[in-house]
Structure 1
Amino acid sequence: MKFKDFGFTADVMDGLDAMRFVTATPVQAQTIPVIRKGVDLIACAQTGTGKTAAYLLPVLDRLVNGDHKGTTTVILVPTRELALQIDQQIEGFSYFLSVTSLAVFGGNDKDLWDQQKRALTQGADIIVATPGRMIQHLNMGYVDFSAVKHFILDEADRMLDMGFHEDIMQIESFLPKESRQNLLFSATMPPKIRELAKALLNNPEEINIAISKPAEGILQAAYVVYDYQKVNLIVDLLKGKDLQSIIVFVSRKAMVNEIVRALKRNEFNAAAIHSDLDQNERIEVLREFKNRNVQILVATDIVARGIDIEKIDLVINFDVPNDAEDYVHRIGRTARAKTKGVGITFINEDDQVDFYKIEQLIESTIYKIPLPPEYDEGPEYNPESKMKKKGKGWGRKPNGKKNNGKKYKGKKPFKKGNVK
């Protein structure tokens, strides 16, 4: 379906033309007509399917066609990175429109707080906010949401995972009860999302798009390794490869800087991003990565659903994510917008059951690549056996010590030499 077939106003179409948006994605083709009817909607769509444009475009079209004063749209998101990303998309789509927007997120910068306060006091048309910071402003008493017509939850499952349920409900209490359209977008649809939808939405229509499946353009593979082999394996996999943009996802932020140091020692252009960085530092790292000034981004899951960068060539899961759904979001950073990409996962002995659950979720067996011949042999991949032995010492290392997230200290040195 073409965007011209939706009947958007000329100004909205001018913005789409400038951004070279021609053909709608499946989630856009299915949700835009529903949203334009003014009914509530619950939509399940994975990362990278174009859902942000799916709700922004009909909202912007309605703002152009109607008279409005004050804030008309509140969008809640789990992370500041996603808030900034959506605000940037609003800028692009509304280039020819008289629409104002602001991303509202946390930080210790007084100037940032004052800027947010001014926009909220003056009534910016669209507010994109993280729940915690939005609550802080609402509690100060100067925010007027009486004119809100659209209440949108993006990445709703992630917000609930982060403990924002009470904040969401408190923010909703400041909004008008009548004549308000509620839109809930989520990558998964667990019972807690159903409960939230019942509390917020009125007779919603429901749309499901490719639930919990990686994009078809992603080549998936895995290595079965001991922890002590992982850092050097990353270095060896990347040497001599002509790859512009790579993301390495790490479960523990303590490992992020160690990986970056190893990459830099081997003359790779790498940068770290995790929660210990302040907001300005995180924005700068993402900007440098997006502009291709940084080749390798080593990140915790803080950016798993909060980054929208085209043409990421490779995603490496340094650790198997505990939640099978997070695997889909991690590798979903590549192969966006029908491009091709590669997702590689490192599986240690303790992570085999979790990886087996991922394979069950995506209904596919992921190829296990043999380690290079100069490497020590990795652990045997046998998750079914480990599931049977769970609770009886399963997943222990050859030295009898269970891996509790620390580097494995085996008897054999790596590759007959020192760690890189």
Structure 2
Amino acid sequence: MNFQSFNFESSLQEGLDAMGFDQPTPIQQMAIPVILEGKDLIACAQTGTGKTAAFVLPILNKISKSGSSTLNTLILAPTRELAIQIDQQIQGFSYFLGVSSVPIYGGGDGVIWEQQKKALETGAEIVVATPGRLIALLAGGKMDLSTLEHLVLDEADRMMDMGFSDDILKIVNYLPQKRQTILFSATMPPKIRQFSMKILNKPEEISIAIGKTAEGVTQSMYSVYDTQKEELVRHILSQKQYEAVIIFCSTKDKVKALYKVLKKGFDVEAFHSDLEQMEREKIMSAFKNKAVKILIGTDIISRGIDVVGIELVINYDTPSDPEDYVHRVGRTARADKEGEAITFVNPKDQHKFVRIEKLIGMSVTQNPLPESMEKGPEYAGDKPKKDFSSAAPDRNKKKKKKKKPSGPASETPREHQKPRPETRAPKSDQSVENSAPRPESKPSKYSQRKNVIEP
């Protein structure tokens, strides 16, 4: 199958040809016909599978075919980064169509808001928004959604995790009941399925390789103590001249700390929530343009960052959620390219990595530490050791237990008995001993459009 099989409008197909789009991915093959038919859809597909094009292309085709000049589609995304990315892809696909889009998101200054407002007043067929900013616009009576025909929820599971379910239901109340609703999610827990039933009408369902990593990713791990991580990451980055690397840390404090260490010898930037929006956009633009080679961040960049050519992903900390591992690794080996993913696993995170291996259905290769480094902890696979401390071995010596006194307790009256020595290990030790790991587009051909209600 190729894209010509969908019988898209000639102007849309011309754009795809110009961009080098030939064969659709599996999710595109399955989702595009359903959306073209006008049916509601629940689609489960991991990051890096081409799901954005899967819903954007059929919607652009329908808008182009109808000649609609009013607001036609609302796309909700969990983060500003993903909203910007989707808007950029729409601009690329619609270059020969004259269909316009505008991203609406919070966190910017007054200049950004004025730009967004002006775009709405000019008119756009597609709005890509984060729920929080859109709620503010709707509450202030600033938007008219009465002409809406399509509602798309992208990364629905992420929006649920971020607490946007109530905001989404409020937004839905502003929309026409007669519409096509499309929900894309990387995972499909029960709460997503239950939520989808509230806003979708007899949806078709598609699921593509949940929990599987891309075939082009070479995955490996190091079993390390926390004190060895900095030396190991410097060693890895020194082995070759990487053009694009992402390092994931579990917290923004670790991102900042690692940035201070690596900036002395590498071309690196830190990406975290404490940065102003303009700073974040500047850093991301530099990374996409290869002006910055290494990006350190939290899971805020594990979804919604579409950068082709990322050679290496390093999990500085093992992800707590196995599905987050899939999203992180999905940053590399995109668009049928190859990539590498390396994970650092300390003793207390071994059970997390066991769950990751079970989800992806494979055992990840363990790399030996460089000869210049001391020996790391033993990785026991699906039988983690009881010692879950991430400190060095010499700090983990076990204390000997005292023996119980011998002789019957009845020989001396209770009130004359001396206190018996403690025969059990302290509670904190016992809990460790007995705990088990849980498992740029051309001007639009449409004119005088308005999506903003005049006061």
TM-score normalised to structure 1 length = 0.91
The within-5 A match list for 1:390-405 is 394-395=388-389, 397=391, 398=393, 399-400=395-396
Match of 2:273 among 269, 272, 275: 275
Contact 2:249 2:297 in 1 (8 A): yes
Query: What is the deviation of 1:133?
Result: 1.0
Q: Name 1:412's counterpart in structure 2.
A: none
Q: Name 1:332's counterpart in structure 2.
A: 330
Q: Name 2:187's counterpart in structure 1.
A: 188
Q: Name 2:352's counterpart in structure 1.
A: 354
**Structure with max Cα Rg:** 2
Query: What is the deviation of 1:382?
Result: 2.5
Farther off after superposition, 59-68 or 354-363: 59-68
Query: What is the deviation of 1:121?
Result: 4.5
Q: Name 1:314's counterpart in structure 2.
A: 312
Q: Name 2:253's counterpart in structure 1.
A: 254
CA displacement 1:326-346 (0-9 Å, x = unmatched): 000001000011111000000
Query: What is the deviation of 1:68?
Result: 2.3
Q: Name 2:228's counterpart in structure 1.
A: 229
Contact 1:70 1:122 in 2 (8 A): no
Q: In structure 1, give the amino acid aligned to 2:172.
A: E
TM-score normalised to structure 2 length = 0.84
Aligned-pair identity in percent equals 52
Alignment CA distance shift 1:253-1:396 (3 Å): closer
Alignment CA distance shift 1:385-1:7 (3 Å): closer
Cα separation, 1, equivalents of 2:390 and 2:251: 20
Cα separation, 2, equivalents of 1:243 and 1:328: 22
Task: Find the residue that maps to 2:284 and give its secondary structure.
Answer: helix
CA displacement 1:65-89 (0-9 Å, x = unmatched): 1142421100011111111111001
CA displacement 1:86-109 (0-9 Å, x = unmatched): 100111111111212111111241
Task: Find the residue that maps to 2:359 and give its secondary structure.
Answer: helix
Q: In structure 1, give the amino acid aligned to 2:68.
A: H
Cα separation, 2, equivalents of 1:99 and 1:250: 39
Cα separation, 2, equivalents of 1:187 and 1:108: 28
Contact 1:71 1:123 in 2 (8 A): yes
Query: What is the deviation of 1:162?
Result: 0.9
Determine which structure has greater relative contact order: mean sequence separation of CA pairs < 8 Å that are 6+ residues apart, divided by chain length. 2
Q: Where do 4+ consecutive residues of structure 1 move more than 4 Å?
A: 383-387
Task: Find the residue that maps to 1:336 and give its secondary structure.
Answer: coil
Query: What is the deviation of 1:261?
Result: 2.4
Alignment CA distance shift 1:258-1:89 (3 Å): same
Total equivalences in the alignment: 395
Contact 2:152 2:183 in 1 (8 A): yes
CA displacement 1:214-234 (0-9 Å, x = unmatched): 001100000010111111111
Q: Name 1:125's counterpart in structure 2.
A: 125
Cα separation, 1, equivalents of 2:99 and 2:54: 18
Query: What is the deviation of 1:171?
Result: 0.9
Q: Name 1:46's counterpart in structure 2.
A: 46
Cα separation, 1, equivalents of 2:396 and 2:154: 45
Determine if the alignment matches structure 1 residue 239 to structure 2 residue 277.
no
Q: In structure 2, give the amino acid aligned to 1:274.
A: H
Task: Find the residue that maps to 2:103 and give its secondary structure.
Answer: strand
Task: Find the residue that maps to 2:188 and give its secondary structure.
Answer: coil
Query: What is the deviation of 1:383?
Result: 5.4
Query: What is the deviation of 1:265?
Result: 1.6
Cα separation, 1, equivalents of 2:239 and 2:371: 18
Q: Name 1:81's counterpart in structure 2.
A: 81
Cα separation, 2, equivalents of 1:116 and 1:174: 20
Q: In structure 2, give the amino acid aligned to 1:332.
A: G
Alignment CA distance shift 1:380-1:240 (3 Å): closer
Cα separation, 1, equivalents of 2:233 and 2:4: 45
Contact 1:386 1:395 in 2 (8 A): no
Q: In structure 2, give the amino acid aligned to 1:307.
A: I
Q: Name 1:37's counterpart in structure 2.
A: 37
CA displacement 1:140-190 (0-9 Å, x = unmatched): 112100111000011111111111111111111110011x00000011111
CA displacement 1:232-257 (0-9 Å, x = unmatched): 11111111403211110111111112
The within-5 A match list for 1:110-121 is 110-121=110-121
Q: In structure 2, give the amino acid aligned to 1:355.
A: F
